């Protein structure tokens, strides 16, 4: 599954960095993959944050289906 969260980022379990169906956050321009605990600055105005928090923030602006919501939750709840 792939969900385009913003023009720059998508959540996917179809990338080589994904294992056992666990989604990763992908920067679309660089194809760099981030796990939930990785620290990044998605956009300069957002500052540094864990990827799980960035995905929560990005997902708030999207109208997601139930399956997409569960996919986002799988990423944001990983390791809790």
pLDDT digits (tens, 9 = 90+) for 15-62: 999 988 899 999 999 999 999 999 999 999 999 999 999 999 999 989
pTM of the full structure: 0.93
- The helix-helix angle for 66-76 and 51-59 (nearest 10°) equals 160
CA separation (Å) from 73 to 5, 45, 66, 68?
A: 13, 24, 10, 9
Predicted pLDDT of residue 79: 64
User: Rounded CA gap, 74 and 66, in Å?
Assistant: 12
How sure is the predictor about 78, in pLDDT bands with cuts at 50, 70 and 90?
A: confident
């Amino acid at each position: 599954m792939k969900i385009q969260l913003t023009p720059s980022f998508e959540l996917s379990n179809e990338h080589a960095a994904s294992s056992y169906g666990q989604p990763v956050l992908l920067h679309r321009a660089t194809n760099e993959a981030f796990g939930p605990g990785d620290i990044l600055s998605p956009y300069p105005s957002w500052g540094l944050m864990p990827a799980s928090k960035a995905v929560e923030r990005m997902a708030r602006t999207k109208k997601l289906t139930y399956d997409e919501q569960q996919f986002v939750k799988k990423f944001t709840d990983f390791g809790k």
